[in-house]
Amino acid sequence: MATTSEKILEASARHPKPEEKTFHNLLDPVFFRVALIAALRSRKLGGQTIGIMITASHNPPEDNGVKLVDPMGEMLEQSWEVYATRLANAPTDQALLESYEQLETSLKIKPGVAAHVIFARDTRESGPALVSALVDGLEVAGASYVDSKILTTPQLHYLVRCINTKGTSYEYGEPTEAGYYKKLAAAYKRVMKGRKSTGSVTVDCANGVGGIKLVELIKYLLGPEEGGVEIKVVNSDAWKPERLNSQCGADFVKTQQRPPPSSKVGPLARCASLDGDADRIVYYFIDSDNSFRLLDGDKIATLAASFIGDLAKSAGLADKLKIGVVQTAYANGSSTDYITKSLNLPVVCTPTGVKHLHHAAVKFDVGVYFEANGHGTVIFSNAALKTLASHEPQSPAQASAIDCLRALTELINQAVGDALSDLLLVEVILAHRAWGPKEWDSTYTDIPNRLVRVEVPDRNRFKAVDAERRLEEPKGVQELIDALVSKYKQGRSFARASGTEDAVRVYAEAATRGEADDLASKVASVVQKGGQ
Ligand SMILES: CC(=O)N[C@H]1[C@@H](OP(=O)(O)O)O[C@H](CO)[C@@H](O)[C@@H]1O
Ligand SMILES: [Mg+2]
């Protein structure tokens, strides 16, 4: 019988690294190799289940990619990203096998431990072919696996957390797709007790997996006749994969600062857009003067933080729950001011990327984190869960606030930012406050801002520090940016190398639209020159 090493070598030859790279032949060996990493990770963690999500999120339909999920539903631990890259880049089948065996030895992984993996994909056409490459890898690595077919990214994170917590005192939920809907719907009904939604919300599903799953979720929720929100699902053409993220979706709305051209809603109607794998959401509406108003991740974070802060006070728990908000440098300066000065809550700024925000948020009892682009969630610490479970209310008002807080811990996805869960979170808050989008928007006014992309010969020369708000290298560039910023009222600007695209991003804020554009373009030209 062939040994595991022989099997890996033989199978790897079926997933060769292409001589001439096209998108598809490039991904086939990557997926084969990702399977090997997932098997190693599961074995290293004593056989806990690891998740693999096949998606390219908000990117064009022909792209694809992969996200690895750790046992508690969190993103793969950072040190393992390095190992994954090492396996993915191994130049030959033999080099791949050597890297695999080296990892086994250096990480003291016992090959005899059973490995378990669960995977799912979004609606992209390339998904099934990539699943074959993945399965080939899982089989030769001796991992057992579950194919969960088509799911949103956060649903897969949910399943991973449920499977790994099953039978413990902190069981997360029933590890099925229906279990996900039931958990959200039960919590939604609890928070909505005695409240009524007004109006409807139109949800643009980016023609992706979010539409299919939102239609399912609605079946479990309260109908409008029962006081629940009326959810109108649009851009849910998931079976025409070429339409995915095309002229719609959260990324389109956020970057273009306008509704999807297909949108038919009138003034003051609430709208929301999901991204292609439903882990991001933004809200927006058309104001009475026909202007477009975006309610982005910052507005969702401030809404959630203010609501939870008020509930904690009503429950008599203001001193016991340390609530904090985590943002990145892209958060609008007005939102940061509003959180610190009006809500009196602490704000932490981290580098871009949700894993950084998540790690900072766990330091609070209630950590609210959102990127401006709409990716985020609220996490409750174990101490907070204990406080909520044991707190004896002293009045009916306290009892109702505490029940609402407990239900929120179930409504909000604790593993990862989840557009469907965030949608319900926003909807329950608006129902509690009897607010429409305009009242929500008027909590603070965004400082005009501009984000531009600058192509430079080598973006790695740009080294940012201080949560990416200042450039250490190339030398001298930060001083030039500072000098420009000082000339603008409410001016703020920074430049950093993108982690996902071959470019440097420049962000600028200033008192007026024209000044923000002007500052952004001047900083962009400083960056361009400094990057030569
Ligand atoms: C300004 C911006 O939106 N940056 C995005 C983008 O990161 P960059 O490192 O800026 O390319 O992609 C990340 C992953 O999706 C997301 O977390 C982040 O917010
Ligand atoms: Mg996404």
Give the pLDDT score at 500. 87
Which residue lies with its CA nearest to atom 14 of ligand 1? 353
Asked about 42 being catalytic, the answer comes back as no
Give the pLDDT score at 425. 98
DSSP code per residue over 201-267: EEEE-TTSHHHHHHHHHHTTS--GGGTPPEEEEES--TTSGGGTTSS-SHHHHHHHTS--TT----T
Give the pLDDT score at 24. 66
Q: From the CA of 295, how far away is ligand 1's center (Å)?
A: 18
The SS3 call for residue 390 is: helix
Task: Name residues contacting ligand 1 (CB within 6 A).
Answer: 330, 352-354, 371, 373, 375, 498-501, 505
pTM: 0.96
Give the pLDDT score at 23. 67
Place of tokens 């204990």: 386
Of 200, 210, 211, 371, give the one whose Cα is nearest residue 271: 200
From first to last of its 532 residues, the chain has per-residue pLDDT tens of 789 999 999 999 999 988 877 766 889 999 999 999 999 999 999 999 999 999 999 999 999 999 999 999 999 999 999 999 999 999 999 999 999 999 999 999 999 999 999 999 999 999 999 999 999 999 999 999 999 999 999 999 999 999 999 999 999 999 999 999 999 999 999 999 999 999 999 999 999 999 999 999 999 999 899 999 999 999 999 989 999 999 999 999 999 999 999 999 999 999 999 999 999 999 999 999 999 999 999 999 999 999 999 999 999 999 999 999 999 999 999 999 999 999 999 999 999 999 999 999 999 999 999 999 999 999 999 999 999 999 999 999 999 999 999 999 999 999 999 999 999 999 999 999 999 999 999 999 999 999 999 999 999 999 999 999 999 999 999 999 999 999 999 999 999 999 988 999 999 999 999 999 999 999 999 999 998 8
**Residue 63 marked as a ligand binder:** no
Give the pLDDT score at 531. 82
Q: How far is CA 253 from CA 135, 145, 160, 288, in A?
A: 36, 37, 31, 19
Ligand number, closest to the Cα atom of 501? 1
Place of tokens 């923000």: 516
Residue to mutate (ligand 1; options 57, 58, 327, 373; most atoms within 8 A of CB): 373
DSSP code per residue over 151-217: --HHHHHHHHHHHHHTTSTT----SSHHHHHHHHHHHHHHHTTT----SEEEEE-TTSHHHHHHHHH
Of 331, 326, 329, give the one whose Cα is nearest residue 346: 326
Query: What's the CA gap between 440 and 433, in Å, rounded?
Result: 9
127 burial via Cβ count (<10 Å: 0-12, 13-18, 19+):
middle
Question: What phi-psi label fits residue 46: left (phi over 0), alpha (psi between -120 and 50 degrees) or beta?
Answer: left
Of 162, 178, 248, give the one whose Cα is nearest residue 211: 248
Give the pLDDT score at 405. 98
Which residue lies with its CA nearest to atom 6 of ligand 1? 500
- Whether ipTM > 0.90 holds is yes
Catalytic residue selected from 42, 57, 314, 335? 57
**Residue 6 marked as a ligand binder:** no
Ranges assigned E (strand) in 244-383: 270-274, 281-286, 292-295, 323-328, 347-350, 366-370, 376-380
Give the pLDDT score at 2. 87
Query: What's the CA gap between 277 and 244, in Å, rounded?
Result: 10
Ligand number, closest to the Cα atom of 280? 2
